[in-house]
Amino acid sequence: MTDATIYNLDGKKSGTVSLPEGVFGVKWNADLVHQVVTSMLANARQPIADTKGRGEVSGGGKKPWKQKGTGRSRHGSIRSPIWRGGGITHGPTSERIFDRKINRAMRAKALYIVLSRKLKDGEMVFVDSLVTTEAKTKYGAEALAKLAIAADAPSLAWKKGKRALLVLAEKNDAVKKSFRNIPSVGIEEARNINPVELLEYSYVVVERPAESIKTFEARVK
């Protein structure tokens, strides 16, 4: 195990936490991460585009003109795909299924790989609590600025882009009220985090690390 520093919202060190190798010491595996992330994105995809085939468009109940004698090409229906307003051939439909199966062990392994990479790259910050003095955006922004200085991560407090994902040990409405109006910050509970969210943000701020880490470890049980 390795030890990591825990900070408080004043930007001061408040202790250390032991990080298990099985969660924060996993070797990078780009293929597995790619497979899990693309599968999760596919599972979240909603089929919106929908076209009509020749059997679904209106009109065309009879032959446009007789087969012979008009000097024009033969046609059987104005619903044919070669007609303007006709059906679409091989177009997208709302019945398409994008779901991909992801094994539970694969999902957990990908999560640990990304957590390990974030720690290795210095993009993981541990905080004893994210509860501010008052549940206001002002205090949330000030707390982030102090954490950014303490953790030597200046971009953590930047207002543009996806800078910090706050990982809560459990649901806390007071914390959400303090940080939800900061556009560069995302908020998620430890039991719900996934590789997609972790990769979207530059830094991961883990609250009450001892409890959150136990939740991470339980993902494979």
Tell me the three-class secondary structure of 62-74, residue by residue.
CCCCCCCCCCCCC
Q: How far apart are the first and last CA of the chain?
A: 20
The CATH number that applies at residue 143 is: 3.40.1370.10
- Asked if the structure places residue 139 within a domain, the reply is yes
- The parent domain of residue 164 ranges over 2-28+104-220
The whole-number pLDDT of residue 221 equals: 54
Q: What percent of the chain has pLDDT over 90?
A: 84
Taking only the tens place, the pLDDT of each residue in 185-207 is 999 999 999 999 999 999 999 99
- Interstrand relation of 2-7 and 13-19 (parallel, antiparallel or unpaired): antiparallel
Angle at 206 between CA 217 and CA 165, to 5 degrees: 110
- Asked if the structure places residue 61 within a domain, the reply is no
Which stretches within 71-136 are classed as H helix? 104-120
Average pLDDT of span 93-120 = 93
Domain count, the chain: 1
Burial class (CB within 10 angstroms; exposed 0-12, middle 13-18, buried 19+) of 180: middle
Q: Which two tokens stand for residue 78?
A: 């104005």
CA 81/CA 21 separation, integer angstroms: 60
Taking only the tens place, the pLDDT of each residue in 37-71 is 999 999 998 888 999 999 899 987 889 999 999 99
Q: What percent of the chain has pLDDT over 70?
A: 99
Confidence of residue 220 (pLDDT cuts 50, 70, 90): low
- Asked if the structure places residue 24 within a domain, the reply is yes
